[in-house]
Copies of this chain bind each other. A is one copy, B any other.
Amino acid sequence: MAEAKQAPDAYDALLDHYETVSGLGDAAGILSWDQEVMMPEGGTPARSKQKSAVSTVRHDLLTDEKVADWLDDLEDADLTDEQESVVREIRRAHERAARVPSDLVAEISEKTSEAHPKWKEAREEDDFSIFAPVLEDLIELKKEYAEHIDPDAAAYEVLFADYEPYLDLDTAERVLERLRDELVPLVEDIRESDTELADPFDSEFDVDTQEDLARDVLDALGYDWEHGRVDTAPHPFSSGTQFDARVTTRFDPEKPVDALMSTIHEFGHARYTLGLPREQYGNPLGESRDLTVHESQSRLWENHVGRSRTFWETFLPDVQERFSQVADATPEDAFEAANEVFEDNLIRVEADELTYHMHIVVRFEIERELIEGDLDVADVPEVWNDKYEQYLGIRPDTDAEGCLQDIHWSHGSFGYFPTYSLGSVLAAQIYDALEDDVGPVDEKVREGDFDVIADWLETNVHQHGARYTTPELIQKATGEEFTADYFLDYAHEKYGELYDL
Q: Which residues of A contact B (CB under 8 A)?
A: 19-20, 22-24, 26-27, 30-31, 34, 38-47, 49-54, 56-57, 61, 224-229, 240-244, 246, 278, 281-282
Contact B44 A243 (CB under 8 A): yes
- Across the two chains, which residue of chain B brings its CB closest to A41? B226
Question: Can you list 9 pairs linking A and B with CB atoms under 8 Å apart?
Answer: A22-B53, A24-B53, A24-B57, A26-B46, A34-B38, A42-B243, A43-B227, A43-B241, A49-B282
- Across the two chains, which residue of chain B brings its CB closest to A26? B50
Give chain B nearest CB distance to A287 CB in angstroms. Answer: 12
- Across the two chains, which residue of chain B brings its CB closest to A227? B42
Bound-complex Cα distance A279 to B282 (A): 36
A46 touches which of B54, B228, B243 (Cβ 8 Å): B243
A49 touches which of B19, B34, B54 (Cβ 8 Å): B19
Contact A243 B19 (CB under 8 A): no
- Across the two chains, which residue of chain B brings its CB closest to A282? B49
Give chain B nearest CB distance to A16 CB in angstroms. Answer: 11
Contact B244 A53 (CB under 8 A): no
Give chain B nearest CB distance to A95 CB in angstroms. Answer: 22
> Which of A30, A44, A45, A227 has the most chain B CB atoms inside 10 A of its CB?
A30
Bound-complex Cα distance A229 to B34 (A): 12
B residues within 8 A CB of A20? 53, 56-57
Q: Given A23-B52, A31-B30, A54-B23, is A241 in contact with B281 using a C-beta cutoff of 8 Å?
A: no
B residues within 8 A CB of A23? 49-50, 52-54
- Across the two chains, which residue of chain B brings its CB closest to A45? B243
B residues within 8 A CB of A225? 40
Contact A57 B50 (CB under 8 A): no
A244 touches which of B22, B47, B54, B226 (Cβ 8 Å): B47
A38 touches which of B24, B38, B241 (Cβ 8 Å): B38
Contact A54 B42 (CB under 8 A): no
Q: Given A20-B56, A53-B24, is A241 in contact with B30 using a C-beta cutoff of 8 Å?
A: no
B residues within 8 A CB of A39? 244
- Across the two chains, which residue of chain B brings its CB closest to A56? B20
Contact B40 A226 (CB under 8 A): yes
Give chain B nearest CB distance to A227 CB in angstroms. Answer: 4
Give chain B nearest CB distance to A317 CB in angstroms. Answer: 29
> Which of A43, A227, A278 has the most chain B CB atoms inside 10 A of its CB?
A43
Contact A34 B43 (CB under 8 A): no
Give chain B nearest CB distance to A119 CB in angstroms. Answer: 24
> Which of A54, A57, A226 has the most chain B CB atoms inside 10 A of its CB?
A57
Give chain B nearest CB distance to A406 CB in angstroms. Answer: 29
B residues within 8 A CB of A26? 46, 50
Contact B49 A30 (CB under 8 A): no
Give chain B nearest CB distance to A14 CB in angstroms. Answer: 15
- Across the two chains, which residue of chain B brings its CB closest to A46? B243
Bound-complex Cα distance A51 to B243 (A): 14
Bound-complex Cα distance A224 to B243 (A): 34
Bound-complex Cα distance A278 to B52 (A): 18
- Across the two chains, which residue of chain B brings its CB closest to A44? B243
Q: Given A26-B50, A30-B50, A54-B23, is A40 in contact with B241 using a C-beta cutoff of 8 Å?
A: no
B residues within 8 A CB of A56? 20
B residues within 8 A CB of A49? 19, 23, 281-282
Contact A61 B50 (CB under 8 A): no
Give chain B nearest CB distance to A102 CB in angstroms. Answer: 14
Contact B30 A34 (CB under 8 A): yes
Bound-complex Cα distance A226 to B42 (A): 5
- Ranked 8 nearest A-B pairs via Cβ: A23-B53, A43-B244, A46-B243, A42-B227, A42-B226, A27-B50, A46-B241, A20-B53
